Amino acid sequence: MTLDIYRRKRRFDRTPEPAGGPIRPPDDTGATPTTGRYVVQRHRARRLHYDLRLELGGVLVSWAVPRGPSLDPAMRRLAVQVEDHPLEYFDFEGVIPGAQYGAGDVIVWDWGRWTADPATADARRALDEGELKLRLDGEKLHGAFVLLRTGGRTARRDQWLLIHRRDGDAVAGWDAEDHPASVKSGRTNDDVAAGRRRRRRGTG
């Protein structure tokens, strides 16, 4: 577990993103975590994508999901694992200046808690083995999902699918792009890019 790659890619005198402090894994007896916070950020970089981040072992384990998560089990979303991010990134919303890594605007599109499937004793190990079944309980996302590595154990280990499982929370045709406002501020990416202040929830 390291933030070296995260830090190497960024210049913290030029980006508003957090550098993060030392990694402090939860110091509770060494039991492996099976639940934590999650966040999904809508990141309008050179190419629009959504970043899914699970709090695990003192960092945010992260995937870039080009088309965004869906509640529709038929929409199997490509998710490319990217470098672990610091916990301080959890509520980051802002503009990453041009010429910096990930230049563009970021909103907190959804947040809540993830919980591993009851049969999963160790979420880190499940990820190492390429399949994590989990529940997401957020403001937009709900229900059972699976993160499934498709690249095999050798080539393209960063390629995963994010799929909503068939359960009572599944919604046919559900598209992330139909739900554009930040759960933190009510703002859209356009609002953040234009420097507009927080909107009151429910007014827009």
- Which CB atom, from 51 or from 84, has the smaller least distance to Mn ion? 51
The percent of the chain in helix, strand and coil, each rounded to the nearest 5, is 10, 35, 50
Give me the least distance between CB of 17 and Mn ion, in Å please. 10
Helix (H, G, I), strand (E, B) or coil at 177: helix
Q: Residue 43 interacts with Mn ion (CB under 5 A)?
A: yes
Q: Residue 42 interacts with Mn ion (CB under 5 A)?
A: no
Closest C-alpha among 169, 150, 3, 152 to residue 70: 169
Give me the least distance between CB of 22 and Mn ion, in Å please. 23
> Near Mn ion by CB under 5 A, which window of 10-18, 41-49, 124-132, 172-180?
41-49
Site for Mn ion in 47-86 (CB under 5 A): 51
Phi and psi dihedrals of 176, rounded to 5? -55, -35
- Which CB atom, from 51 or from 93, has the smaller least distance to Mn ion? 51
- Which CB atom, from 43 or from 164, has the smaller least distance to Mn ion? 43
Q: Residue 17 interacts with Mn ion (CB under 5 A)?
A: no
Closest C-alpha among 100, 107, 183 to residue 141: 183
Size of interface with Mn ion, in residues (CB under 5 A): 2
Give me the least distance between CB of 202 and Mn ion, in Å please. 28
Residue 89 CB contacts under 8 Å (≥ 6 apart), including other chains:
17, 18, 20, 39, 53, 60
Give me the least distance between CB of 5 and Mn ion, in Å please. 14
Give me the least distance between CB of 137 and Mn ion, in Å please. 23
- Which CB atom, from 63 or from 145, has the smaller least distance to Mn ion? 63
Residue 44 CB contacts under 8 Å (≥ 6 apart), including other chains:
104, 105, 106, 189, 193
Q: What is the residue whose two structure tokens read 């508003």?
A: 16
Give me the least distance between CB of 102 and Mn ion, in Å please. 5
- Which CB atom, from 9 or from 133, has the smaller least distance to Mn ion? 9
- Which CB atom, from 73 or from 84, has the smaller least distance to Mn ion? 84
Residue 28 CB contacts under 8 Å (≥ 6 apart), including other chains:
none
Residues 76, 81, 84, 85, Cα dihedral to 10°: -50
Residues forming contacts to Mn ion in the complex (CB under 5 A) are 43, 51
